[in-house]
């Protein structure tokens, strides 16, 4: 997994990524990843997410990215998926 922008967040990020990735596989393909440890994973994902989030928020602040990030969010909130692109839909229909 790629490292965090702040080395101190990398261990938390690795843990969080691992939790998310296994959850994600189950989310997309429930039959494949019907693991018995699902509940435990979901719990640890929560905890890992909170710790990592706190660390990375500080790292973003320390890197001086806060204001440019806010500006980017104001300009393009991207709160919901953009409308489908007609050309890619047509491409999909061909197959």
Partner 1 sequence: MHIFSQLFQYEHPWSHVVIGMWRKYPNPKCTHVVSVDVIDRSVDPETGIIRTERILGCKQKAPRWVVKLFGGSEDAFVREVCFVDPATQDANITSVNLSLSQFATCYEVVRYTPAGPHRTNFSQTAEVQARTRLWQTAANGLEKWLVQRFEQNAQLGKTAFTDVLRALWEERHGHLQAAAA
Binding site for partner 1 (CB under 8 A): 1-5, 9, 13, 16-17, 20-21, 24-25, 27-29, 49, 52-53, 56-57, 59-60, 63, 65, 68-69, 71-73, 75-76, 78-82, 84-85, 87-89, 91-92, 95
Shortest Å, Cβ 35 to partner 1: 15
- 89 alpha-carbon distance from chain centroid: 26
Shortest Å, Cβ 4 to partner 1: 5
Q: Which residue's entry shows tokens 């994973």?
A: 41
CA-based nearest residue to 42, from 27, 55, 61: 27
Q: Compute the half-sphere exposure of residue 86: CA atoms within 13 Å on the CB side of its CA.
A: 0
């Amino acid at each position: 997994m790629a490292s965090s922008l702040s080395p101190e967040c990398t261990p938390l990020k690795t843990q969080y990524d691992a939790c998310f990735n296994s959850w994600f596989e189950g989310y997309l393909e429930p039959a494949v990843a019907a693991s018995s440890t699902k509940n435990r994973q979901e719990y640890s994902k929560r905890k890992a997410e909170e710790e990592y989030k706190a660390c990375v928020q500080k790292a973003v602040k320390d890197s001086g990215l806060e204001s440019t990030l806010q500006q980017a969010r104001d300009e393009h909130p991207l709160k919901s998926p953009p409308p489908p692109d007609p050309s890619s839909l047509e491409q999909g229909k061909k197959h």
